[in-house]
Structure 1
Amino acid sequence: MSAQELAEILEISSRAVEKQIANLKYKGLLKRIGPDKGGYWEVDQENREFNS
């Protein structure tokens, strides 16, 4: 799902979505699986439980 699609669903700007995603990456709550093209982001369950 793109930031634009997520923004439309949440009814916020795509920039706001991108800022939140950047924050989650900074906190280690998202991790990259695979290459830049063809890969995807995944919630890091270990850090998610730790940071809750």
Structure 2
Amino acid sequence: MTPDEFVLIKCFDSKEGVAAFVPHTGFEDPSTPPDAPLRESIELRTLVFYDE
């Protein structure tokens, strides 16, 4: 990913019939060049409440 890209992982939804949990992980990629820039990440958790 580049600095202007992001991944949104929806981890929980209380509504019936909607995906409740999403597995995710990290790993070392042996094919990464030794001079590749280091990866940076940040985690932000947000609660959203709304009425339909």
**Bigger relative contact order, structure 1 or 2, given CA contacts below 8 A and separation 6+?**
1
TM-score category of the 2 structures, normalised to the smaller one: under 0.3
If you compute each CA radius of gyration, which structure gives the higher value, 1 or 2?
2
Kindly indicate which of the two structures has a greater share of residues assigned to strand: 1
Kindly indicate which of the two structures has a greater share of residues assigned to helix: 1
- Structure 1 length normalisation: TM-score? 0.17
